[in-house]
Amino acid sequence: MNKNRQNANMEEYKVKEQAELLPFLLETFSDRSRNAVKSILTRGQVYVNNQEVTQHNYKLEPGYTVTIQKNKAAKAANFEKMKILYEDDAIIVIEKDSGLLTVATEQEKSLTAYKQLMDYVQKINPKNRIFVVHRLDRETSGVMLFAKSEEIKHTLQTGWKEMVKERSYVALVEGIVTKHEDTITSWLKETKTFKVYSSQKQDDGKKAVTHYKVIKASNNLSLLSVYLETGRKNQIRVHMSDIGHPVVGDKKYGAKGNAIGRFGLHAIVLAINHPVTGELLRFKSNIPTEFLKKRQF
């Protein structure tokens, strides 16, 4: 079988003899499991003569061209308040909407990102599982990563600090932030009621470092670019409150109102070295339109 590389995300194969599509793919990708190959078909990543085909027993003839689109977001899955940005045999990266829980809690058992992804991978094979690597608060939107095995989860969590090359957010906060850019450092602790607060006493809690720059500010609102040096629970929310500019809609940490009808925090970029290949992957989400309404700026 001849393989021609069209571009970084496409692989092309020429058919030499009659075959059905699934056996052809199994032979082509002999280093992958049967379920992994079937999932390529299920997700609509396979094209025969430039036509998308998901039928396992589709008849191939000599001279046909089979093209594989790598890491294509699942077309067949219907997700609520989320979408897949990237998937391979080791990880799944999603974009989560505001209002969707990462995982269920004792108080809340409703639809979650975790449950939807678990249902999705188990449609391909009931033994498949996914694993939570990190979390976003329910009302925070943006880029999240999940592992497809416990081993990959462990690799990511133990090497998180070294593997994550960029983790940035946009935050819409109350008030006009006068300092164009700054770094906020404190030690975070949590009360029995699960509210996180800052201590300025060194080593009195978990050290948290947040960098921010003002993108624009007017009408008593500021849009910030926020870069995390550490990833602590509620870190941005607490630090914005500490400087007197709570995240819009975040009443828990002092917000007085909600000018946009949602929480003003969005995980915009996650750049990470792949846990298996080491390749640098960068995932970017757009700034939510609610953050940019003309009436605000």
| E strand or H helix at 114 | helix 113-124
Q: Which two tokens stand for residue 172?
A: 């819409």
Active site amino acids? 137
Sign of CA dihedral 173, 178, 181, 187: negative
DSSP letter at 287?
A: P
Q: How far is CA 96 from CA 84, 205, 218, 229, 231, in A?
A: 9, 29, 28, 22, 18
Contact between 281 and 271 (Cβ < 8 Å) = yes
For residue 168, list its beta bridge partners: 227, 269
Residue among 69, 72, 74 at smallest CA distance from 48: 69
Q: Exposed, middle or buried: residue 150 (CB in 10 Å: 0-12, 13-18, 19+)?
A: exposed
Give the Cα separation of 122 and 119 in Å (integer). 5
